[in-house]
Amino acid sequence: MTSFAFDAQITSAHFDASGAVFALGDGSVRFEDGTFDAVHDGAILCAAVHPSGAGLVTGGDDGRVIWSRKGEAGLLAEVPGRWIDAIDASPDSKLIAFSAGKTLSVIDATDAAFRRDFRHDQTVSGVAFDPKGRRIATSTYGGACLWFARIADQKPVKLTWAGSHTAVAFSPDGAFVVTAMQDAQLHGWRLKDAKNMRMGGYPSKIRSMAFLSKGTLLATSGAQGAVLWPFTGSNGPMGREASEIGFDDSTLVTRVAASNPHGRLAAGLADGRVWIADPAGQGLNFIKAEKGAPITALALSPDATRVAWADEDGRAGVTDSTAEAA
């Protein structure tokens, strides 16, 4: 395992084409090989891998969206006086979407002149592209909205459900949209008919979710184990129960990470440990067995062979997903 100790909170962990990358609360982007970019005047609030696969696009409380590569950084967009709250990027369409307050903005990584701004009635908390990068889902108070990424004048499709929705994801087949909610539950919609899916039973707020196994499973944090919802068939999880792996009544899963279409799932725990497992197999492999501060960031490499993690105290690590913990 390669270990790091940063003097700042770690916002998120990622894998770009070169390896692990961390976005930090001190406004810097740190690459696995030690390359360091101080890119924001303030904290990085959100990050995603750039559509090219090289480096990160980050949003900060300085109102800027920046592309950071090793030894090079460039300003992509700016919203003066606002925080960039959420961001996503599509390698298929080469588009980048980000939110500031009630506005969703879309820019093109290959065309600096392209920009679309879409206004919402409520603050946007989450942003996600569909699998082809043509539509964008946003989470907000009262549900989710769907926008066509390149069309300037449009009204969104509104998916309504009472309450505060804090994050959003498309299923890998584009058939479902799922949100995490403030009151410790998931909510979903089947897009062909806007059918609602209530997905509750969590003891804690859901802070991360990830599809795996060719989109047939959705894993989430927020319970004593990683919760797995079935997404096979046209009905997804409707009328079906979730399962749970890695149950431990002494702690909670705080983060999950996967790399669809692979079957491996990584989980970070509130007691500082990290495990990886194949839900179709047997047993957990604790790649970080020592306990410590809660895991706050987690990523699995695109080929599902490496894991990057970070904890609340600024410690981080990168390890082979098949390695045994010391």
> What does the alpha-carbon distance between residue 187 and residue 126 come to, in Å, rounded to a whole number?
14
Mean pLDDT (whole number) for 256-262? 95
| pLDDT for residue 283 | 84
Of 267, 270, 280, residue with least CA distance to 307: 267
Q: State both tokens at 178.
A: 């799922």
Within 10 Å of residue 112's Cβ, how many Cβ atoms? 11
- Percent over 70 (pLDDT), the chain: 99
Q: What is the pLDDT of residues 17-40, one digit of tens each?
A: 999 999 999 999 999 999 999 999
Q: What is the mean pLDDT of the chain?
A: 96
Q: Which amino acid is at 304?
A: A
| pLDDT for residue 325 | 60
Answer yes or no: CATH 3.60.15.10 is held by domain 205-326: no
> What does the alpha-carbon distance between residue 79 and residue 297 come to, in Å, rounded to a whole number?
26
| pLDDT for residue 324 | 67
| pLDDT for residue 53 | 97
Q: State both tokens at 133.
A: 């990068």
Q: Could you state, in order of their start, the residue ranges of all structural domains in the chain?
A: 205-326
